Amino acid sequence: MTELFVGPLKILTNNQGWHPATDIDFGGDEADGQAFNAMLVAPGLALNIQYFLASEAGGGVKIVDILDSPLKYKKLLGRVRQGVQRLPDGFAMKQVRSIKDSSSDKPTVTKATHEELDQTLGSPLLHILRPLGVTEVGVAKDMFGSRNSDLAIRWSEEGSPLIPFVTFIVTRVIPVMESSE
């Protein structure tokens, strides 16, 4: 069980760990795989979040319930999923983008820099991610030869399932938290 502070929020996990589940894989198809559940909490806020990994094609992180949280968090429910890809030797988020306009009911994510995320968090994001097993943070084009120049994060098989949760908080939850509605 874990209680990890990420800025103004805390990630809660317990002993249930990974369990069999069926959800949407990285490519958008329904697939069998494993899910890891957690809660993101702060005073007056409790969000159920799930990290799904299909057996073959990766998966992603999304909010599955906002419980009694303020209605503005409803815009995150099932949307703006953070995709996670399987690599031969681990995992990667090759397109780490963040919500810039959180006033919209249907927010979208746009390109973000490492510095912008540090600013959103109020402290260096790597200070949290490194101990969790992140091995590289950089630009997707440089790290993977992708065409895009999005921020990318890579970790090994041994990396913690909390890595995408931390990223989700910084790129999605804190921006909504800081918005007025």
Taking residue 55's Cβ as centre, other Cβ atoms within 10 Å add up to 13
Q: Is 74 in the site for other proteins (CB under 8 A)?
A: no
Residues that contact other proteins, how many (by CB under 8 A): 19
How far is residue 73's CA from residue 105's CA, in Å, rounded to a whole number?
A: 10
| Alpha-carbon distances of 181 from 68, 144, 150, 164, 175, rounded to whole Å | 16, 37, 28, 25, 11
| Block residue for tokens 């990396």 | 159
Measure CA of the first residue to CA of the last residue in the chain; give whole Å. Answer: 33
Helix boundaries (H) for 59-155: 114-121, 126-132, 140-144
84 to each of 61, 125, 141, 151, how far by Cα in Å?
8, 18, 17, 13
78 binds other proteins (CB under 8 A): no
Structural contact between residues 171 and 99, judged by C-beta atoms closer than 8 angstroms:
yes
The contact pattern for other proteins, residues 142-171, with x = CB under 8 A and - = no contact, is ------------------------------
Shortest distance, position 115 Cβ to other proteins, whole Å = 29
Min. distance of Cβ 67 from other proteins in angstroms? 7
Nearest-approach distance from CB 41 to other proteins, in angstroms: 5
Told to check if 6 binds other proteins by CB under 8 A, we report no
User: By CB under 8 A, which span of 13-21, 127-135, 149-157, 160-168 interacts with other proteins?
Assistant: 13-21
Question: Which residues between 19 and 58 bind other proteins (CB under 8 A)?
Answer: 37-39, 41-43, 46, 48, 50
Residues that bind other proteins (CB under 8 A): 1, 3, 10, 12, 14-16, 37-39, 41-43, 46, 48, 50, 64-65, 67
